[in-house]
Structure 1
Amino acid sequence: MKKVVSVSLGSAARDHKVYTEICGQKVSIERVGTNGNVEQMIEIIKDLDGKVDAFGLGGMDLFLMANGKKYILKDAEKVIKHARKTPIVDGSGLKGTLEKQTLRYLNKNGFSFEDKKVLLVCALDRFGMAEELLDMGAKTIYGDLMFSLGIPVKITSLKTLSKIANVALPVVRHLPFKMLYPTGDKQELSSERYSEVFKWAEVIAGDFHFIKKHLPSNLKDKTIITNTVTSEDIELLRQRKLDTLVTTTPELNGRSFGTNVMEGVLVALDNRKNQNYSSLLKEVGFKPRVVRLSQHYKGYRGLSHG
């Protein structure tokens, strides 16, 4: 049996373990949260190194990217160096492929992004999605300054974001990750600080912890495109009248795991790192999950749903 463990900086309340079969191989997939404790992450990785087939780095990015240039985050670098035998991935290798495919899948099946108002809560950890939205003609607000740094400035140009990134990221990469992203118990806190931009958007895209942290009380007529959600998250979105939830990763026993987990699965199945994920995804058959939450929702043409 292949074993994949996601060691996360996030809350242990979201821990989950499933057994499944992918491409004829049995796979154990487990997510272990450390409530914001980087040292605990390191100890878990040291203990399991060489005993599992792949690690996922959860709750933090290994790097942020702009204009094809990678900026390695120091906290993540400190963690991954302890995986000496087992490959460790943060999902970034999969995001660029899987999330572009998700947008193209939606577009092909009747959901046009042309002139659609999109809030992408953080583009620097999903630059492939940002570029695809631009190519598809979406009117996008990039929320990097708001959601990552707490600076209430909307960015409406990917070129502007890239210029800001080139100046800021050499400094930002040295900051503790908890200053950039909700970790541990902070993942359960919320405020409606950016309700105006949520109200403007027809589509809200990106990391769910960023979305959830500032989730407005009314999501009627809106679509969320994200990655990791639990059954409790889905119920929360239903209560707030969300029309449609799209997750780029598939459902496994009632929840979708993060891209770091799914990339870990692909690495474990293929026994190699940095693969051409397009061909592997086709072989595995990963498809986005579309959950229709609103009773009045008419649905996208041809989309499967949960």
Structure 2
Amino acid sequence: MPKRIVSVSIGSSKRNSKAELSIEGLPDTFVLERIGTDGSWEKAIELVRELDGKVDAFGLGGADLYVWAGKRRYTFRDSARMAAAAKQSPMVDGSGLKHTLERNAVRVLEPQIHWKGKKVLIPSALDRFGLAEAMSEAGAEVIYGDFIYGLGLPFPIRQLPVLRLWAYILMPIITQLPFKWLYPTGEKQEKQVLDWRQRYFRWADVIAGDWHFMRRYMPPDMQGKVILTNTTTEEDLEFMRSRGIKTLITTTPRIAGRSFGTNVMEAFIVALAGKYPLSEQEYLGYIEKLGLKPQITELS
């Protein structure tokens, strides 16, 4: 029997997919599945209860369970309700893998990208604090867009310590708010918002992080830009080509025509390891063992 990994996502059901994966040197095959509930937390919780104990690991998709700022971890109230429904099968949201995989991707990409002085926009840095730290350490000129894209406030943050300070102040409050106030869920993931926030995309050489934030606020002309993200479908690639994006870099491998989210890949590693939680060093060990490296696709 193959090991089964299911990502239960608050996102759109239009992005549902299923793929079987065999990796040379591993005895097991894996079925990776993504099921969207179109923004319904109640459907997601019901689905988790139904599948609990029947899958080897759950991914929590379309939302975060945890976000990090420095060494502090904050838990979203809505996501915690969903995670609590998994009594037997472990549930992960990708945050453990983001912290290691995406940080490692910045280092691996240095010979091609040369980060020092590159203008990088991270629309939601608290969702990917490891990526944010790695960009800063690599010498990129970064705008952290959490106020701009998460809260709709025209305050670009350009220094990592400032982002960390605001996180310490605001995250205990923000994580108690309905998640849909902070992040596009369900049908909202398909809608575009063309307003003042486009200017930061025009400023940047590279836009890095969450694809749904990018797609929602991306201007029509993205000629020559580089996108660094993870979850993309063939439809997303066509969308990028229509905008003139030069290069797509995904931090997770493309399987059956799409790159799966970090929550799916983290659940895959947990199922492979047969235990949870895993340490940062254990994640890094599996990243190396599986050969998880950034995949570069030239679009134009």
Task: Report the TM-score range of the alignment, normalised by the length of the smaller protein.
Answer: over 0.9
Kept in 2: contact 1:66–1:162 (CA 8 A): yes
- Work out whether residues 67 and 95 of structure 2, in 8 Å CA contact, stay in contact via their aligned partners in 1: no
Return 76-85 or 270-279, whichever deviates more. 270-279
User: Which structure shows the higher helix fraction?
Assistant: 2
* 1:224-273 CA distance string (max 9 Å, x none): 00010110000010111101000110000000010000000001111011
1:60 match? 63
Residues 93 and 274 in structure 1, CA contact (< 8 A), matched pair in contact too: no
Distance in 2 of aligned mates of 1:161 and 1:281: 28
Q: Which residue of 2 aligns with 1:172?
A: 174
Alignment of 1:122 onto 2:124: yes
> What residue identity is the alignment partner of 1:260?
N
Q: How big is the alpha-carbon RMSD for the aligned residues of Structure 1 and Structure 2?
A: 0.9
Partner of 2:266: 263
Alignment of 1:33 onto 2:33: no
Mapping 1:80-91, distance limit 5 Å: 80-91=83-94
Letter in 2 for 1:126: R
- For 1:15-26, list aligned pairs within 5 A: 15-22=16-23, 23-26=26-29
Q: Give the secondary structure class of the aligned counterpart of 2:4.
A: strand
- Residue number in structure 1 paired with 2:294: 288
Return the letter of the residue paired with 1:175.
Answer: L
For residues 266-291 of structure 1, the C-alpha deviation after alignment (integer angstroms, 9 at most, x for no partner) is 01111011321111111112221111
Which aligned pairs between 1:161-240 and structure 2 lie closer than 5 A? 161-193=163-195, 194-240=197-243
Q: Percent identity?
A: 46
2:285 maps to which residue? 279
Output the CA distance in 1 between the equivalents of 2:133 and 2:33. Answer: 32
Gaps of 5+ in 2: none
Q: Who is 1:148 aligned against?
A: 150
Question: Is 2:16–2:34's contact at 8 Å kept on the other side of the alignment?
Answer: yes
Q: Distance in 1 between matches of 2:149 and 2:295?
A: 25
What CA deviation, in whole Å up to 9, does each residue of 1:58-78 have, x standing for no partner? 011012221210111100111
Q: Deviations over 1:152-209 (max 9, x none)?
A: 2111111111111111111101101111100000000002221211110000001000
Distance, in Å, in 2 between the alignment partners of 1:158 and 1:13 is 36
Give the structure-1-normalised TM-score. Answer: 0.94
**Which AA in structure 2 matches 1:153?**
F
- TM-score for both structures, normalised by structure 2: 0.96
Letter matched to residue 241 of structure 1:
G
| Match status 1:134 vs 2:140 | no
Query: Is the 8 Å Cα contact of residues 243 and 292 (structure 1) preserved in structure 2?
Result: yes
CA distance in 2, matches of 1:252, 1:58: 17
| Letter of the structure 1 residue corresponding to residue 129 of structure 2 | F
| Other-structure match for 1:92 | 95
CA distance in 1 between counterparts of 2:43 and 2:150 reads 24
Residues of 1 paired with 2:18 and 2:230: CA distance? 17
Match of 1:125, SS state, is helix
Segments of 5+ residues of structure 1 without an aligned counterpart are 295-306
Q: Structure 2 CA distance, aligned partners of 1:99 and 1:54?
A: 21
Equivalents in 2 of 1:231, 1:20: separation in Å? 18
For residue 110 of structure 1, what is the aligned residue in structure 2?
A: 112
Partner of 2:12: 11
How many angstroms apart in 2 are the aligned matches of 1:111 and 1:35?
Answer: 36
